[in-house]
Amino acid sequence: MIRGYGRQAVQAAEGPALSAGRPLMRWAAGGVAAAVRGELDGLGVPRSKARVLVLVGGGNNGGDGLFAAGLLAERGVVVSALLVREQVHADGLAFARRHGVRILVHAPDGAPALREEDSAGEAHSPIPDGVAWVREASLAQVWVDAMAGIGVRGGLRGASAAVVGVLDRLRQGQVRPARRVIAVDTPSGLSADGGVVSGPVLRADRTVTMGAMKAGLLLPPAAGLAGRVEVLELGLEPEFAAQAALVERLEAADVARLWPVPGPGDHKYTRGVLGVVAGSGTYPGAAVLTVGAALRTGCGMVRYLSKDGAVADRVLDHYPETVTTPGRVQALVLGPGLSDERDQDRVRERLAEVDELADAAGTPPPALVYDAGALSVLPQDPQVNRRRRAVLTPHAGELAELLSARGTPVDRARVEADPARWVRIAVEVTGATVLLKGAVTLIAGPSQAFDGGKGIRTGEVGLLSQADGSPWLATAGSGDVLAGILGALLATSEAPVPLLAAMAALVHGRAAHWANPGGPVTPSDFVRALPGTLAQVLTLR
Ligand SMILES: NC(=O)C1=CN([C@@H]2O[C@H](COP(=O)(O)OP(=O)(O)OC[C@H]3O[C@@H](n4cnc5c(N)ncnc54)[C@H](OP(=O)(O)O)[C@@H]3O)[C@@H](O)[C@H]2O)[C@H](O)CC1
Ligand SMILES: [K+]
């Protein structure tokens, strides 16, 4: 389980250690220097030819960068430090100078013109705009972004923003076999508290974040600018454990421990029965994908309940184990491949039938997955949806449509600019758990502390972020598969719905990856890959 923390929690966790004199900054700098050396090695750059540019801000983030610069210079790397503030971390600057780091001082008027310091630290007259530092940037194989970390306020502005603009142009313009950008703690300009991007950001290939994961690095769209994120342990785990996280991310080992694995006493009914109302004359394949995904995720039985004989035949051709007679279900998937008014009436009819059966048997109404065409038949009353375990699986456009239809006007672009905000609003408006599909899938739900045993404490936050897929997953039918996986889990497990939704998202992404690592994949491929993927995940129990 990865927990993402905001600025306040980080400062609260770091405070006592800093007061106790623990050299956190030195440790942080050591981690950054090691990451830079790793990138140089990865690029095959010999020490003798290695050049690094460190962008240094006026706070402790810049301090991390300056100490890292000194550590690299000590090991023979040619390091320049571009100070984007007149005042920088004094000890860090002294350390960097002492180890031969070349200091480039930013002109006070904020333009990217610079003054070059001589060895005595005396600043020369301003050198022509864009010469020394841009030349150094063009020669360096690694740029280290230490302009701002969790102390940033709002979007990057002033000299830092100007430097990002120049580097972006340099990056685009210059054909260079390889250059890597390493962000210190966070890419400068990103907030630790959220995923909104409100100014220029130097996209990183790798982020070394200190002490614990920052929430902003788990939340889109910011998460897309951080590259590969690694947490540099600073020995603060107990301090962070006492802090409230803003977002959580399940890992495969968590899914393994939470997965409803059948026991010797189980039979098809105790393993959970899932009903599927999906597929139509227009999109019969959606039914096949959803049923197939549910069967291969491993529930006790799948009832295909759409009374469309032709589609039912197609499903049975692929999955003869599908049951097509009505009967009680513990969960129901509504909507994949349904698109028009007639379909929506059929959803309402099927839903009424399964509720009646549950009522007659005195059992709770089935949990519900509302996908695609069924989103518009979600009951208006949030209390109704809150009472039954309901989860919606929209993409950003469907979420915008759903909220606008319920009196909260918003468009797709605004949802995509701050998805964490809008997925939470959707939970308030609908009363259901909401899984918002995207490159990073967000799940928000009624926060409900859950102890899954085996050390899994989750749910208090009410927001989960899963990034297990790849762009290859963005293909027609992918959502049908996810709905099937999620439905099977809801039919089989009593764990909180947000957790099951995050588990489904993780398995969905991993199955797509394992179906064809790094290459194109069809939803049918990843349906086939589900059993193997699950078996592989379950080895982590
Ligand atoms: N405390 C420690 O020993 C450790 C801290 N870690 C590192 O420190 C940072 C947090 O450092 P902090 O000094 O609180 O703030 P930052 O350095 O992150 O940011 C302040 C600088 O950023 C500039 N700033 C702020 N907002 C903007 C903006 N919108 N645009 C441009 N620049 C901005 C600010 O400039 P001002 O002019 O506003 O003063 C400062 O220059 C943390 O992230 C870690 O990297 C260690 O990792 C652990 C030990
Ligand atoms: K930074």
Q: Please report, for the domain that includes residue 128, its CATH number.
A: 3.40.50.10260
255 confidence band (pLDDT: 50, 70, 90): very high
Same domain, 244 and 265: no
Same domain, 281 and 363: yes
* Order of strands across the sheet that contains 142-146: 114-116, 102-106, 78-83, 51-56, 142-146, 180-184, 206-210, 228-232
Q: Give yes or no for residue 301 having a pLDDT over 70.
A: yes
The pLDDT assigned to 423 comes to 98
Q: Which is nearest to 70 in space by CA: 52, 43, 83, 48?
A: 52
Which tokens go with 412? 């797709």
Mutate-to-test residue for ligand 1 from 14, 61, 84, highest number of ligand atoms within 8 A of CB: 61
Which tokens go with 67? 């100490």
Same domain, 194 and 326: no
The Cα–Cα gap between 29 and 24 comes to 8
Name the residue with the closest Cα to ligand 1, atom 36: 58
450 confidence band (pLDDT: 50, 70, 90): low
Same domain, 66 and 152: yes
Residue ranges with CB less than 5 Å from ion ligand 2:
61, 145, 149, 183-184, 188
Same domain, 294 and 425: yes
The Cα–Cα gap between 402 and 424 comes to 13
Domain count, the chain: 2
Around ligand 1, the residues with Cβ closer than 6 Å are 14, 18, 24-25, 28, 57-62, 64, 85, 148-158, 160, 184-185, 210
479 labelled as ligand-binding? yes
The pLDDT assigned to 461 comes to 78
Ligand 1 nearest-atom number relative to CA 146 = 45
The CA 189 to ligand 1 mean position distance, Å, reads: 10
pLDDT one-digit tens code per residue, 227-254: 999 999 999 999 999 999 999 999 999 9
Q: Give yes or no for residue 462 having a pLDDT over 90.
A: no
Name the residue with the closest Cα to ligand 1, atom 1: 60
Same domain, 29 and 110: yes
Mutate-to-test residue for ligand 1 from 60, 66, 83, 190, highest number of ligand atoms within 8 A of CB: 60
The Cα–Cα gap between 324 and 298 comes to 18
The CA 438 to ligand 2 mean position distance, Å, reads: 26
Same domain, 228 and 197: yes
**DSSP assignment of 322-356:** -B-S----SEEEE-TT--SHHHHHHHHHHHHHHHH
Which ligand is the nearest neighbour of the Cα of 57?
1
DSSP H helix total and E strand total for the chain? 18, 20
- The residue among 233, 249, 265 that closes a domain is 249
23 confidence band (pLDDT: 50, 70, 90): very high
Name the residue with the closest Cα to ligand 1, atom 43: 149
Mutate-to-test residue for ligand 1 from 24, 55, 86, 150, highest number of ligand atoms within 8 A of CB: 150
Name the residue with the closest Cα to ligand 1, atom 15: 151
Q: Which is nearest to 506 in space by CA: 476, 534, 477, 541?
A: 534
Query: Mean pLDDT throughout 394-420?
Result: 98
Mutate-to-test residue for ligand 1 from 11, 19, 152, 233, highest number of ligand atoms within 8 A of CB: 152
CB 512 within 8 A of CB 518: no
The pLDDT assigned to 190 comes to 98
Q: Give yes or no for residue 396 having a pLDDT over 60.
A: yes
The Cα–Cα gap between 168 and 158 comes to 16
The pLDDT assigned to 341 comes to 82
ipTM of the complex: 0.98
Name the residue with the closest Cα to ligand 1, atom 41: 58
The CA 184 to ligand 2 mean position distance, Å, reads: 4
pTM (predicted TM-score): 0.93
CB 201 within 8 A of CB 68: no
Q: What is the CA radius of gyration of the chain?
A: 27
CB 65 within 8 A of CB 92: yes
**Over pLDDT 90: what percentage of the chain?**
83
153 labelled as ligand-binding? yes
**The domain that contains 281 carries what CATH number?**
3.40.1190.20
- The residue among 249, 267, 297 that closes a domain is 249
The CA 479 to ligand 2 mean position distance, Å, reads: 36
Which tokens go with 274? 């899932």
- The residue among 200, 230, 249 that closes a domain is 249
Same domain, 189 and 273: no
Spell out the SS3 assignment of 178-191. CCEEEEECCCCCCC
Owning domain of residue 111: 2-249
Give the lowest-confidence range in 89-103, 393-407, 427-441, 447-461.
447-461
Ligand 1 nearest-atom number relative to CA 159 = 31
339 confidence band (pLDDT: 50, 70, 90): confident
Same domain, 242 and 260: no
